[in-house]
Every structure is written in C-alpha cells, then in structure tokens.
Amino acid sequence: MTAQPRIGKVDFSIGTETYQTWYRVLGPIDALGRALLVLLHGGPGMTHHYMLPHKILFEKSNVPTVLYDQIGNGESSHIKNKPAEFWNPKLFMDELDNLLKHLGIYENFDLLGHFWGGMSTRYCTSRSITLISVQECLLRIMQPKDLIRA
C-alpha cells in the first residue's frame, strides 16, 4: 500500500455533485498488516474533535487510527438547501465506503462508533463485516499492561 497524507480530503460524489470528506490518519496505513481503527463521530452534527482523546490508542499501543468529519460537518464540505430525505444513513455509509477505498483499507479496518454508532452496526451488517465486542476490540489493539491501567 502506498503512504497517504496524514491529513487530507477525498472527493465524494453524490449524483452530479462532488463534495469533500476531510480525514486525518495517525500512524502508517500499512502498519505490518495491522487493521486501522476508523473512528466514527456522533451526530449527525458532531465533528471528529471530541474523538481526539482516542489518539492515545495510537500513541500508547501503535494502533493506526483514522478520524474523519462526515459531510456537512467540521472540515468536510458543508451542504445547504437539501431536503431532509438527502440526509439518510445510506449517504453516510456510502461516504465511509468511499473513504475506506481511498485509503486502501476497505478490507482491513476496525470501526469504533459513538452515539451515531448505531450506523456503524448497520454498516457492518450490510457489508458482511464481522462484528466484535468492545472488549474483544480492546484486546485486539491494546497491550495487556495497558488494560491493567485502564
């Protein structure tokens, strides 16, 4: 896999319109086959900022981590004058698909969602992705000494 910028934007097309999804990668994308942890912020209406404390997973356990702002929020394109039907779960699942493909991690990632995290469950079940518990996820990404302190 080729290295991606630590901070960037990826085009996301909806019909004839193109928007941009902002993302930030902590750590190398090709970290010895290790799955990246993709953080899905709450909302709609929130941004990646309150998820920043999760960067400790990278800092302490070398878990490569991706933060991003869903369209309409934060550093991503802001979209005005769209009907309520425009803003639906499929839109955000398609945006996540687009980001994962851009980063080259579509087949190898873990997803941690908060609040709007119900979407992450829906995403996983609609894409035939194995769901794991938070405890199992922590065991996969943290060292035993880190769990003792937690």
- pLDDT tier at 94 (50, 70, 90 boundaries)? very high
The tens digit of pLDDT for each residue in 139-149 reads: 555 555 544 44
- The per-residue pLDDT of the chain, averaged, comes to 78
- Do 78 and 72 meet the contact criterion of CB atoms below 8 Å apart? yes
Q: Is the pLDDT of residue 76 over 90?
A: yes
pLDDT of residue 124: 67
Give the per-residue pLDDT at 4.
44
> Distance (Å, rounded) from C-alpha 150 to C-alpha 146?
6
pLDDT at residue 138 tops 70 = no
Q: CATH code for 7-149?
A: 3.40.50.1820
In the chain, where the domains are located? 7-149
Buried b (16+ CB within 10 A) or exposed e, 71-97: bbbbbbbeeeeeeeeeeeeebbbebbe
User: 72 — phi, psi (to 5°)?
Assistant: 90, -5
pLDDT band at 131 (very low <50, low <70, confident <90, very high): low
Rg (CA), the chain: 15
pLDDT digits (tens, 9 = 90+) for 14-73: 999 999 999 999 888 876 667 788 888 877 778 888 788 777 777 777 788 899 999 999
Higher per-residue pLDDT: 85 or 112: 85
Confidence at residue 132, expressed as pLDDT on a 0 to 100 scale: 52
Model confidence at 89, pLDDT cuts 50, 70, 90, reads confident
